[in-house]
Structure 1
Amino acid sequence: MKKAASIKRKTIDYIYKTAAAFFAAVSIFILAAIIFEVLKRGAGAINFSFFFHLPKPPGEEGGGIANALFGSFVITMIASLIGIPLGIMSAIYSTEFGRGTLFSRYLRFSTEILSSVPSIIIGLFVYAVVVVPMKSFSTMAGAIALSIITIPLIHRVTEEMLLMVPDTLREAGLALGVTYPVVVRKICLKSAKIGVITGILAAIARISGETAPLLFTSLNSPFWNFSLLKPMATANVTVFVYAMSPYDDWRQIAWGASFLITASILLLTIFSRILFKRVKNG
């Protein structure tokens, strides 16, 4: 009887391990297939014109997406400048100053809900409250939409990192006569800074791949734009537009832009994982 039960347990254990290994291998294969396909199709589009020239009119060969690359950089940076402080400060309040209060619980619940809202809904919201009143698509509207996406991501990571800081460090700072805001700034945030930076990089990687919110906010433009109040091209929207075009040259550029987006997100993700591993290992 005991031998039969042992064989049954080992069989079940083997089945579960085999199934887990199989599905893990499938996930890795899918990622590798995507990277390989994007690299194979997109590497050929990478050249000098791709980075430094504007798009050509429909039907003409050549050109690049210099304005779209610049637009992606500008919108991502502005979104980061808006979303990072809000995410960090809200996490500091809920963890340090409002810990255990009803408002902090509502704040934590709200950020969790916000993180699950589809990005296209956020884009539609910004379209209604920013684009429609301004009567124009704009760079700023796109940055606001992406910043909303970053807030819950950064809030969650910052909150978790601050909770990992031992209370004994806070108590030691207070025992020296330091005010609590200084303790939070000089001790808590300093101890959690690597983890917070990891969350920031992960949030930037997330918004770097967003397209749906930008269709409702910054839209697109075939020209250079240095105004925050006018439409601006981005690499993501360019992929969306060019991939559906009937021109082979445009579709090739779309693959090239896809390759750049994938590579940048992959590098940011790897770097953030390295930082997270450093935090985890102390």
Structure 2
Amino acid sequence: MSAHSSQHGRIVLAGTPIGNLGDASPRLREILESADVVAAEDTRMFHRLQSALGIEVRGRVLAHHEHNEQASAEGLVSMAEQGSEVVIVTDAGMPAVSDPGYRVVSLAAQRGVMVTSVPGPSAVLAALAVSGIASDRFAFEGFLPRKTGERRRVLSELAAEQRTLVFFEAPHRIDDMLEDLALTFGPSRRAAVCRELTKLHEDVVRGPLSDLAEWASRDGVRGEIVVVVEGAEEQNAAMSGDLLADVEALVAAGHRLKDACAVVAEKHRLPKREVYEAVLASRGSA
């Protein structure tokens, strides 16, 4: 645990509009105009935002993106240590949430530099709010892997998650993603595809995963996309004795327990975690 040792400079994470420029707060405008340094994910997009907001940024504007974040973090934190107010912005939404910013915050915390935020629009929270799916408990998973096998592996591990899940996805992969969700989570699991939030063509399509997969494949989906999926129902029924026997047979043949569970889970299209926990419960009660 570290206390703030820097008395003058600071790092400010500033949320920018995710679509509608009217969502830019007065405080965002003020902090951008007064900052000594603005670290932007895309400097060209930032200058367009600056022009659209009608503000004058007097400080230096530097590039801070996923490709230079590690090296850039050191310089930005050093500037704050020397007394500068360093504002971090991304193309849209809050920095450090599936966007650059985390490494700067982590390094600043290690070195006792103050970090604060100018809260702003968030695609995650906006989608969750309009999805019509329970929002009291949720988990943000960001972008799934691009390769089919890896994506299905990750989804199979999430299939038994009882919290609402929130994902980002690109338009050209959304149909494949929804198909894999329907395959691993089950076709009847409810979800919402939220696109172009706060923009002119905002659209939210809700329904079972099977229907959403068919819709996306048929009609195509454009724009910035957030997918919200309801959590799994609590599993009260005991795992089939035959499945548990299959696992134990593989273990007896020399497989590691987790590997044996993975084989059986894939064969029966079940979450690996569910099979593994059922085996442990079975062994504990034996």
TM-score normalised by structure 1 residue count: 0.22
Q: Give the structure with the larger strand fraction.
A: 2
TM-score normalised by structure 2 residue count: 0.21
